[in-house]
Amino acid sequence: MNGLVIKALAFAAILIVATLVVVKQMNIDLSDPINAITMIGAILIATLSFGVAAKYIAQMKTDTASGELAEENWDGIGEYKNELPSGWAYSFLGTLIWAMWYWTMGYPVNAFSQIGMWNAEVKAYNKKFEEVHKNADAATLQQMGESIFLVQCAPCHGTTGDGLSGKAQDFGSRMSKEQILYTIKNGSNQLGYQMGAMPPMMAQGKDAEEIAVWISGGMKGKQPAAFAACASCHGPDGKGMNGMAPNLAEYDNTIVEHVVKNGKKGALGKMPAFHDRMTPVQVKALATYIRSIKGE
């Protein structure tokens, strides 16, 4: 065997041994088929790469060019019309076949993934979390809710829930007079309540003004007669008729759940929907903490 080929194969062997040593030190499980296939591929690539490279380097020393030249040439340099080496063609075809097997049977694209494993672990943890905290007392919920608020809500609503000077919802009160007048004028269909969309212009002029002042003032004193248009959905007390429509009096668990699930358009921009990022207990805890900001 050519001396250069022997040296190349020896170098490949050293690389393979070094790779096996690293794998052993990293405690990689070679019983896993994916890890095993990867190692076999690495060994084959190292062996073939150095062996083939050495073979052709040696061959270049003795071989002479032969075959039919193409008519085109560049600065006297021409190109032979030789066929593609069979080894290259078979290697390319073999790679395509192996890729199709790998994607469909060896390691299907819809099989295991790190994201899938993460989602499964999160789902299992959330189930355990819900079981542990399903009967949490108010103090625990408020403490939990504060932690959630500071991570998820404070960047827009401020650490104290003041809405950063009007840039987002101020949790110190349920709704401002301006918000109520805007909603009466434009209607609302953001939160997905069972009552459906609130049509615009349910009240106008003085009636709208009285409704807005009464609600923003905490619903104290005599209820405006025009509020009857609102009571048909929100209830005579404005509390949303057990979750059928938004609660106008306070931040109950239902309204927090709907905002978390659906997002909401606000002065700072569109609040994104958090979907399944929070468990039911966490939503309940967040609502508990938000109510504490309002001082209820």
- By the 8 A CB rule, do 54 and 4 touch? yes
* Per-residue pLDDT tens listing for the chain (296 residues): 567 667 777 777 787 788 778 877 877 777 778 878 888 888 888 777 777 777 777 777 777 777 788 888 788 788 888 888 788 889 899 999 988 888 888 776 666 677 778 888 888 998 999 998 988 998 999 999 999 999 988 888 889 888 887 788 888 888 888 888 988 888 888 787 888 888 888 888 998 899 989 998 888 888 989 889 888 889 889 888 888 888 888 888 888 888 888 888 776 678 888 777 888 999 999 999 998 887 54
Q: What CA–CA distance (Å, rounded) separates 259 from 213?
A: 24
- Give the pLDDT confidence score for residue 285 in this predicted structure: 93
**DSSP code of residue 266:** E
Reduced to 3 states, what is the DSSP secondary structure of residue 156? Answer: helix
Q: What CA–CA distance (Å, rounded) separates 216 from 219?
A: 7
The single residue listed with the structure tokens 């950063």 is 164
Residues of the chain by 3-state class (helix, strand, coil), percent to 5: 60, 5, 35
